[in-house]
Structures are given as C-alpha cells and as structure tokens.
C-alpha cells in the first residue's frame, strides 16, 4: 500500500493528502476540520470527445454522446433498480455529470459516509444492462437534449463551439444528438465501460472532517477487489486550435422602418 503524501497549498490555505493506490487509482483527501457535511467525487478520464480512440492499436469509433449515455446507465444496478434510492436510504445526495474530457460521480452526506462511499465505488465498478433498458434510456436522453435546445444561453454556447470547431466532436453537444443516440447499443456501452472505467483512469477526491488514515485504509481495502485490465487505450488527439467558418450563431429578422 503506497503512503499518503501531504502537501500544503498556501494560496488556498488547504492541506491535501494524495496517493496512487496499487491498482492505479489516484486518491486525494481534503480534511475540513469542523465541517459536518462530507463529500466524495469519483472522476473518470472519459468525456464526450473520447468517442474515437485506439484500442490495442485498432481504431474504435462510437456515436457522439456515448460517455454521457454511459453515465446515465451506471445508475441502474443488476436488478434494473435505480441506485439513487440506495443513497437516499443512507441520507446521501448523489448525482453525476459529463464534460468534454471526463465523467464525474459524486455524493454528499452528513451521516453514513463510509457506507455511501462503498456504494459509490461499487456501482461505478461494473456495468450490467439490456438492450430493452438502453432503448428506454434513449427516450429520456432525447428529452434532455430537446430541453437544452430551449435554453438560449446553451444554444449560444454550442453555436460558438460549432463555428470554432466545425465538423469535429468538439462542436457537438456533450449528450450527442437524437440521431447519434439512436445508434448506441448495449455492446457499445459495455465496450467503453471496460476501456475507461478502470482504476488507473480514475481520480477519487474525498472532502470532510474525517480521520485521513481510516478513510484511506477503507478505500484501499475496497480497491483490492478490482483487477487491472491489460488492454491499451490511446485517445485520438483532437485539435484545440480554433477554426472559424463563415456564418452566425443566430439569424435575426429585422422589420424595415416605415
């Protein structure tokens, strides 16, 4: 078991304990003395731009929005039940989000922190679903996509990206679009889970007033159960150089003066 390293950040007046566990998981612990609420964040280095990558030297291409889709489906356990209900029983508030380059699952709670942390580590360490369940989820995600289309601020933001990065994954909605969502299969989700949801590709951050050594030991014991996969994933490089094309984000129609 690797030792915790303590580092003080003067600008923010915080001490952060960090370590890389034997299975590759990156761990950061931020002790907040006197705080009642505790929180945990598990971030996976897998986001919306990672729909094309090399697996053992072979190019893999998946529909846009697959990282966000996988985020949704992980909240379903082996029996098809929503794991959010298990967090509610512990008095914890749980959620997740997907960005361009990562997916993060998190919870906060006043009590039962270790139980909730164990649940977080458990439901993000395995994927089980069916084609029927995936097809049902497509309708939910499509509703989410359509909802954001009614948000002027989001449409302006997405329009900027589409003009800066035309015909690239950087210019697409993180959730994909209705056409790309329909192409996603349960096998696609399983393949991407196996490639990216691995300890060495994850970063766990714990925040709260708890014994650092105790919570470190708890995480280590839980992580020993996970085995490291031997596949090699190499992400496809995306150009971050802004490119513009002719056009505007919005089309305005003005009335001619009388």
The per-residue b/e assignment along 199-227, b for 16 or more CB within 10 angstroms, e otherwise, is bebbbbbbbbebeeeebbebbbebbeebe
Q: How far apart are CA 212 and CA 31, in angstroms?
A: 7
Please list the active-site residues.
71
Find residue 105's DSSP bridge partners: 42, 96
Closest C-alpha among 12, 44, 45 to residue 30: 12
- Give the CA angle between residues 145, 149, 154 to the nearest 5°: 105
Closest C-alpha among 125, 106, 114 to residue 39: 106
Residue bearing tokens 């990558």: 53
Joined together, the tokens standing for residue 230 give: 């031997």
Cβ pair 92, 109 in contact under 8 A: yes
Quote the DSSP letter at residue 82: B
């Amino acid at each position: 078991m690797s030792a915790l390293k303590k580092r003080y950040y003067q600008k923010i007046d915080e001490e952060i304990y960090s370590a890389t566990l034997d299975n590759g998981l990156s761990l950061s612990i931020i002790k907040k003395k006197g705080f009642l609420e505790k929180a945990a964040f598990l971030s996976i280095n897998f986001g919306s731009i990672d729909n094309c990558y090399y697996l053992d030297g072979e190019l893999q291409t998946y529909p846009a929005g697959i990282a966000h889709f996988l985020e949704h489906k992980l909240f379903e356990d082996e029996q098809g039940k929503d794991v959010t209900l298990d967090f509610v029983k512990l008095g914890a508030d749980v959620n997740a989000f997907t960005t361009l380059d990562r997916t993060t699952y998190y919870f906060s709670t006043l009590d039962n922190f270790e139980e909730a942390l164990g649940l977080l580590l458990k439901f993000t360490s395995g994927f089980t679903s069916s084609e029927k369940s995936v097809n049902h989820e497509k309708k939910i995600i499509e509703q989410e996509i359509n909802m954001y289309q009614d948000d002027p601020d989001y449409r302006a933001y997405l329009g900027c990206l589409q003009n800066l990065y035309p015909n690239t994954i950087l210019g697409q909605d993180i959730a994909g679009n209705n056409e790309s969502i329909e192409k996603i299969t349960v096998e696609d989700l399983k393949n991407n889970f196996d490639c990216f949801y691995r300890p060495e590709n994850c970063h766990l951050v714990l925040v709260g007033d708890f014994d650092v050594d105790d919570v470190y030991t708890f995480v280590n014991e839980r992580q020993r159960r996970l085995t490291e996969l031997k596949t090699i994933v190499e992400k496809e490089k995306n150009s971050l150089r802004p490119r513009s094309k002719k056009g505007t984000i919005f089309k305005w129609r003005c009335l001619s003066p009388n």
